[in-house]
Amino acid sequence: MATQTTPDFNKVLYAPLAEIDPEVKNIIDKETWRQFTGLELIASENLTSLAAMEANGSILTNKYSEGLPAARYYGGNEYIDELEVLCRKRALAAFNLDPAKWGVNVQPYSGSTANFAALTALLQPQDRLMGLGLPDGGHLTHGYYTAKKKMTASSIYFQSLPYATVPGTGLIDYVGLDAQAKVFKPRLIICGASAYPRDWDYGALKKISEREGAWLMADIAHTSGLVAAQELNDPFEFCDVVTTTTHKTLRGPRAGLIFFRKDLENAKDLEKRVNDAVFPACQGGPHNNTIAAVATALLQVAQPEFKLYAKQVVANARTLASELAKHDYKLQTDGTDNHLVLWDLRPLKLTGSKVEKVCDLLGITINKNSVSGDASAQTPGGIRLGTSALTSRDMLEEDIKVVADFLHRSVQIALTLQKEAGTKLLKDFVAAATKQQEGKVGYQQVQDLKKDVQAFATKWPLPGVDVKNLQKPEGLHE
Ligand SMILES: *Cc1c(COP(=O)(O)O)cnc(C)c1O
């Protein structure tokens, strides 16, 4: 609290958000309402815990601590050192790693910065790297470029070549990758993806990288929670470096981690290279409030209950896939091994953009996604669905069946709207969805399904929010 002698210029430091900034408070309240009343199916999202949010919103945000524990550029870091050492220990424990063989840097601000730091540690500028192509489910940071433009730092500062999935099966083309690597001679092969519903053959990748003398790095940003829970193959068995975000299936705050091998005969300095690449090469002071929240999330990941959560995420994704398949919809790879499903809408003559738009109006959050063989990256032919967040709201297989039915209805409504729009243009489609018109039914179907979605979604709790006492905020766009 402010004291009697607190000068006017400091009074602002003690006022709660609702009092000092009702505008931002209202935006937070609207977003809270959206999360409560809607169904979150974006595969990269999850709901972190109350405890992680408490740590993330803590006073640790005040502290500068450039450097590493016991080697800082600033004073006053005894507790910050204790925190970072604890966070590292928990990160290794969460992934069942031997501290003699693996180390971890817990300072990356996010997944993209973790990846760029890893590339900085492993490569010289303009060295060659290979990653799964973006249209096949890879990530921007794995070397993405277009015919006209080098799009990301990973293609601007390095020479990159994408590998692909096999048309038809949608599975990683290991044979093609092997042949490409023989010619391209990469210094680094990156595996891991943002939109790939199956597991990886790390052993096969290791064979190729070893033959070429290349590093092997797994970016498990999407699947790290499932890897930690041993629901998926173990990349640590074969890779030199493993990076991840902490906010996807791992269910922590927004941040990144870089794991590195400590026992490589030909790269004894890998630990130093990674640490120097994070700071000072790519970042400044660590976000200690975030590191505290990561530590808390990793404590949770190491509990037996997290394994049950991870199992349920996969069971829910499989249920979602099999329910959609009952309607003869086409899914990439015909199903899933992990937390996500890629739904190919092209046989229905619908685009991902239109279905994403309808779902937005309905309170179902999904994203358009390219499916392999798409003619243009500008009009993705599919959508990506994930079960991590719904599982964090307590949903089990029977509940996912209800969600699958909502999605089925959404796509059928999209077909109706496309017919009623009269053209293939997105703007006419949106007009048909948002304006009542004589003799047309799509608009009313949107209204009806929206009510059903909201009634269902509001039955479930939301971590960190007292939903019983939640008030509908002012100014919602409805
Ligand atoms: C999400 C993701 C990232 C990037 O993470 P940000 O925290 O958004 O920077 C990197 N790699 C993969 C495979 C991802 O899915």
Q: Within a 10 A sphere around the Cβ of 215, how many other Cβ atoms?
A: 25
CA–centroid distance, 195 to ligand 1, in Å, is 11
pLDDT at 337: 98
- Specify the 3-state DSSP secondary structure of 364: strand
Q: Tell me whether strands 159-163 and 188-191 are parallel, antiparallel or unpaired.
A: unpaired
Q: Which residues line ligand 1 (CB under 6 A)?
A: 44, 110-112, 115, 139, 141, 192-194, 219, 221-222, 245
Q: Which atom of ligand 1 is nearest to the CA of 255?
A: 7
Active site residues: 64, 66, 219, 245, 248, 254
Nearest CA to ligand 1 atom 6: 111
Residue nearest atom 10 in ligand 1 by C-alpha distance: 111
What pLDDT was estimated at residue 437?
87
Contact of 107 with 285, CB cutoff 8 Å: no
So what's the pLDDT on residue 224? Answer: 98
* pLDDT value of residue 374: 83
> Are β-strands 188-191 and 215-219 bridged in parallel, bridged antiparallel, or unpaired?
parallel
- Best mutation site among 42, 48, 136, 141 for ligand 1 pocket (most ligand atoms within 8 Å of CB): 141
Query: Ligand 1 atom 8: the closest Cα is on which residue?
Result: 111
Report which residue type is found at 121: A
What is the 256 CA–ligand 1 centroid distance (Å)? 9
Pocket test for ligand 1, best of 107, 110, 112, 219 (most atoms within 8 A of CB): 112
Residue nearest to atom 12 of ligand 1 (CA): 221
Nearest residue (by CA) to ligand 1, atom 3, is 111
Work out which ligand 1 atom sits closest to the CA atom of 192: 13
The answer to whether 33 and 478 have CB atoms below 8 angstroms apart is no
Would you call 185 helix, strand, or coil by DSSP? coil
Pairwise CA distance, residues 371 & 380, whole Å: 7
Task: Print pLDDT tens along the chain (478 aa).
Answer: 899 999 999 999 999 999 999 999 999 999 999 999 999 999 999 999 999 999 999 999 999 999 999 999 999 999 999 999 999 999 999 999 999 999 999 999 999 999 999 999 999 999 999 999 999 999 999 999 999 999 999 999 999 999 999 998 999 999 999 999 999 999 999 999 999 999 999 999 999 999 999 999 999 999 999 999 999 999 999 999 999 999 999 999 999 999 999 999 888 899 999 999 999 999 999 999 999 999 999 999 999 999 999 999 999 999 999 999 999 999 999 999 999 999 999 999 999 999 999 999 999 999 999 998 887 777 899 999 999 999 999 999 999 999 999 999 999 999 999 999 999 999 999 999 999 988 899 999 999 999 999 999 999 999 999 999 999 999 998 7
The CA 97 to ligand 1 mean position distance, Å, reads 22
Query: CB count, 10 Å around CB of 108?
Result: 30
Which residue has a Cα nearest atom 15 of ligand 1? 194
For 201, how many CA atoms within 13 A lie in the half-sphere containing its CB?
11
Nearest atom of ligand 1 to the alpha carbon of 193 = 13
Instruction: Give the strand pairing for 128-132 and 159-163.
Output: parallel
- Model pLDDT, residue 377: 72
Pocket test residue of 139, 217, 247, 251 for ligand 1, highest count of atoms within 8 A of CB: 139
CA of 32 to the centre of ligand 1 (A): 24
Q: How far is the CA of 476 from the centre of ligand 1 (A)?
A: 30
- Alpha-carbon gap, residue 250 to 223, rounded angstroms: 8
In the reported structure, the alpha carbon of residue 50 is separated from the centroid of ligand 1 by a whole-number distance in angstroms of 23
pLDDT value, residue 194: 97
CA of 467 to the centre of ligand 1 (A): 30
What pLDDT digit, counting tens, does each position of 369-405 carry?
A: 999 888 777 789 999 999 999 999 999 999 999 999 9
Which residues lie closer than 8 Å to 401 by C-beta, 6 or more apart? 319, 323
219 Cα nearest atom in ligand 1: 13
pLDDT at 438: 87
Q: Which atom of ligand 1 is nearest to the CA of 112?
A: 9
Cβ neighbours of residue 292 closer than 8 Å, sequence gap 6 or more: 55, 56, 58, 60, 83, 87
Which ligand 1 atom lies nearest to the CA of residue 110? Answer: 7
* Paired tokens of 129: 């790297």
| Whole-number Å distance between alpha carbons of 300 and 311 | 15
Rounded Cα gap, residues 429 and 420, in angstroms: 8
337, two tokens: 């091994």
* Token couple for 304: 């037996």
Q: pTM of this prediction?
A: 0.97
d(CA 1, CA 194): 46
| Nearest atom (ligand 1) to Cα of 111 | 5
Between the CA of 33 and the centroid of ligand 1 the distance, in Å, is 26
- Residue 454 CB burial class (10 angstroms; 0-12, 13-18, ≥19): middle
DSSP state for residue 413 in the 8-state scheme: H
| Count of C-beta atoms within a 10 Å radius of residue 94 | 25
- Angle at which helix 174-184 crosses helix 202-212, to 10 degrees, equals 10
**Rounded CA separation 100/159 (Å):** 34
CB neighbour burial string for 335-374, b if at least 16 within 10 angstroms, e if fewer: bbbbbbbbbbbbebebbbbbbbbbbebbbbbbbbbbbbeb
| Distance in Å, CA 141 to ligand 1 centroid | 8
Residue-level pLDDT at 372: 81
The pLDDT value given to residue 30: 97
- Residue pair 434/447 in contact by the 8 Å Cβ criterion: no
Domains of the chain: residue spans and CATH: 59-302 (3.40.640.10), 315-464 (3.90.1150.10)
